[in-house]
């Protein structure tokens, strides 16, 4: 994707320096700041504090975090500690655990002296695969978007939720990959971007769409229903943090409400995600652990003050009881289709198994 017209990935690896550079997404959309990550603790903090967000990018960052850790030490005890430290940073996004399991299987059997180099190679492969998979999702999604009827004129109006674009991956995005593919192919497309309170990831979506020149409009989360009812939305596409074996989808909180509104208005509701987001070991969405985040994320609003300085506004008393679930689960019956790097399938065990017969089990 582009920043000021320059093709850019969200993560830059420097194995010779035993470090990576990431975009500190907690400072977007007001400032683009690259952050150096050179220790296990810094990698874990980047994931936990949401300096990196999005299931695929979290997985890639964890993979590189393990490579960085093995540059500090490479004995068995430290390997176990490093994997556990990264494993416990976020509970819902399965890509994190998928990437660490893959990394551990590669490096654990090796002599300690060979682990660091192998880890950097494996992490780079995970990152490159993410880019290739997202481009494939974009190609399959473009075919789908071309077929959709347009309710108002020639422009295709797509709604999304949270940030499942370039910033949530190493490059290309998941839910936004078809949108970028459509825009680059000359298909007129406009994106309705919901703000996604309380972390406001929609602001990141708006920022990256603007960087790439894609027409879009930012809306309050609760405006989604009326836009659908007025015929101003042709389809909704979201990403996912975990997809259960039966097609239930965990995604940023508020996704379920959009799926319900789509069902009531006869609109397609699509989920775009790579293989690493599908958890074939988890039978149903009710078994997905939903992360409960700090209530202060809800009590405080972050932005710039009148001087343009980053500030936090206390909108609720510190003692006010709040609930802050980070995700919800959309049942498979509300999902029109799942888009992956292998194509489109029904949101069901049979549909996912058709795309991935080698891993889906019986």
Catalytic residue positions, numbered: 241
CA distances from 110 to 18, 69, 338, 354 (A): 19, 16, 37, 35
Burial class (CB in 10 A: 0-12, 13-18, 19+), 34: exposed
Q: Is 132 exposed, middle or buried (0-12, 13-18, 19+ CB in 10 A)?
A: middle
Longest dimension (CA), the chain: 63
Structure tokens at 116: 């660091």
182: its two tokens = 């459509």
Q: Which of 268, 331, 282, 322 is nearest to 299 (CA)?
A: 322
CA–CA dist 237, 284 (Å, integer)? 21
How is residue 94 written in tokens? 């399965």
Reading the block at residue 57, the tokens are 């990018």
Which distant-in-sequence residues (6+ apart) come within 8 Å of 107 by Cβ? 66, 70, 79, 115, 118, 119, 122
CB 138 within 8 A of CB 177: yes
Residues 6+ apart with CB under 8 A from 321: 295
Query: What distance in Å separates the CA atoms of residue 329 and residue 138, rounded to the nearest whole number?
Result: 24
Q: Are strands 300-304 and 278-279 parallel, antiparallel or unpaired?
A: unpaired
Beta carbons within 8 Å of 267's beta carbon, 6+ residues apart: 228, 233, 234, 235, 236, 261
Count of other CB atoms within 10 angstroms of residue 266: 7
């Amino acid at each position: 994707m582009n920043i000021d017209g320059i093709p850019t990935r969200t993560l830059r690896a420097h194995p010779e320096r035993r470090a990576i550079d990431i975009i500190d997404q907690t400072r977007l959309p007001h400032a683009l700041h690259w952050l150096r990550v050179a220790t296990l603790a810094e990698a874990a903090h980047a994931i936990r504090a949401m300096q990196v967000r999005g299931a695929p990018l979290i997985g890639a960052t964890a993979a590189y975090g393990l490579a960085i850790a093995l540059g500090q030490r490479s004995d068995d005890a430290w390997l176990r500690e490093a994997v556990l430290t990264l494993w416990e940073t976020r509970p819902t996004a399965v890509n994190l655990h998928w990437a660490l399991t893959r990394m551990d299987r590669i490096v654990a059997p090796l002599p300690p002296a060979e682990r660091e180099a192998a880890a950097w190679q494996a992490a780079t492969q995970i990152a490159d695969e993410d880019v290739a998979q997202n481009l494939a999702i974009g190609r399959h999604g473009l075919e789908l978007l071309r077929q959709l009827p347009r309710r108002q004129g020639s422009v295709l109006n797509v709604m999304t939720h949270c940030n499942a674009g370039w910033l949530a991956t190493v490059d290309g995005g998941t839910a936004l990959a078809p949108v970028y593919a459509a825009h680059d192919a000359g298909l007129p497309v406009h994106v309705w971007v919901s703000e996604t309170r309380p972390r406001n990831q929609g602001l990141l979506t708006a920022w990256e769409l603007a960087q790439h020149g894609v027409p879009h409009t930012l809306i309050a989360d609760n405006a989604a229903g009326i836009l659908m009812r007025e015929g101003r939305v042709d389809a909704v596409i979201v990403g996912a943090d975990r997809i259960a074996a039966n097609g239930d989808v965990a995604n940023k909180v508020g996704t379920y409400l959009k799926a319900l509104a789509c069902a009531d208005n006869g609109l397609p509701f699509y989920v775009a995600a790579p293989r690493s987001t599908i958890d074939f070991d988890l039978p149903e969405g009710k078994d997905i652990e939903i992360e409960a985040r700090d209530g202060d994320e809800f009590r405080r609003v972050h932005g710039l003050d009148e001087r343009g300085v980053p500030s936090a506004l206390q909108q609720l008393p510190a003692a006010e009881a709040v609930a802050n679930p980070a995700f919800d689960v959309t049942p498979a019956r509300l999902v029109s289709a799942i888009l992956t790097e292998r194509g489109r399938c029904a949101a069901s065990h049979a549909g996912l198994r058709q795309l991935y017969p080698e891993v889906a089990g019986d």
